[in-house]
Structure 1
Amino acid sequence: MEDRIVTKRLHLRPFLLSDANAIYTLCNDIEVARTTLLIPHPYSTDAAEASILSNQAAFLNGTRYAFAIESLMDACLIGSISLIIDKQHKRAELSYWFGKAHWGQGYATEAASSIIHFGFENLQLHRIWAASMTKNINSIRVLLKMNMQYEGIFRQHILKWDDYEDVSFYGILKSEYKHTTTVDISKKLLS
């Protein structure tokens, strides 16, 4: 099983406990927390460590493939991308976040393209879906660039900081991916 992916500018790898301080720094930004479904604010190093341990266990048992995203240029942690697996139905939920300093540079598109490829080709998934708060326009743009189809809105679906938020859902099937998606993966490292 592949556990590391290298793209043109990024290195996706499993999380390490040594990532806790970087995760804390990136996730403790209120702008990052505001646009995600599950990141609280304020964020703590204890939360970062608990997340890492949970992700490591899930990676080993194949229920969640959460990758730390590093810039190849400086090996700096810039975000996270995950596939949460539903083995029974051969589907996964795609989720990701990036530190604010790394927004708008195409990293989310590059990472999403590589992990969708991983999901369909390595994990043999049938479907990958994602959810985004409707106010997170940049995330929605990434999902559309992945050729994910808009599937609807759940109105006031989540409660985030005393406000109910609408959530949009997107999905792509393996048959759609094979015909429409081009992945720029320059190198893969096998475990």
Structure 2
Amino acid sequence: MLLLAHEQDDLELSYSFLPEHWGHGYAREACAAVLDRGFTNIPGTERIVAVTQAANGRSARLLQVLDMVKIDEFIRFDALQVMYAACR
């Protein structure tokens, strides 16, 4: 789990969890901590984005639980992608 520079001058939350760790709340807890740290410790951070495939319902629900809001849809890697954002 990390924050990366995104192509639109935002930070991007990126994460990957092995299936055996799904459903335990680890992603929610870790992503919330990374978002908080990004907003708190990186000066000038007003928005952090995250992108997931539209077909990945679990990831979309995670981002929604983190109070991220859907802001864009686009095709990349031959699949519909959805971008979410958290703002402070």
Fold-level similarity (TM above 0.5): yes
Is 1:127 aligned with 2:41?
no
Residue 145 of structure 1, aligned match among 43, 65, 68: 65
Is 1:108 aligned with 2:22?
no
Distance in 1, matches of 2:25 and 2:55, equals: 19
Residue 158 of structure 1, aligned match among 71, 76, 84: 76
**Percent identity of paired positions between Structure 1 and Structure 2:** 33
Distance in 1, matches of 2:23 and 2:55, equals: 16
Q: How does 1:1-191 map to 2 (within 5 A)?
A: 81-85=1-5, 89=9, 91-124=10-43, 125-154=45-74, 157-159=75-77, 164-174=78-88
| Count of matched residue pairs | 86
Q: Tell me, what secondary structure is at the counterpart of 1:97?
A: coil
Provide the TM-score with structure 1 as the length reference: 0.43
**Over the residues paired in the alignment, what is the CA RMSD in angstroms?**
1.5
**With CA pairs under 8 Å and 6+ residues apart, which has the higher RCO, 1 or 2?**
2
Note the residue ranges of structure 2 that are not aligned, 5 or more in a row: none
After TM superposition, where is structure 1 displaced by more than 4 Å over at least 4 residues in a row?
none
- Give the residue type in structure 2 aligned to 1:101: E
Note the residue ranges of structure 1 that are not aligned, 5 or more in a row: 1-80, 175-191
Provide the TM-score with structure 2 as the length reference: 0.89
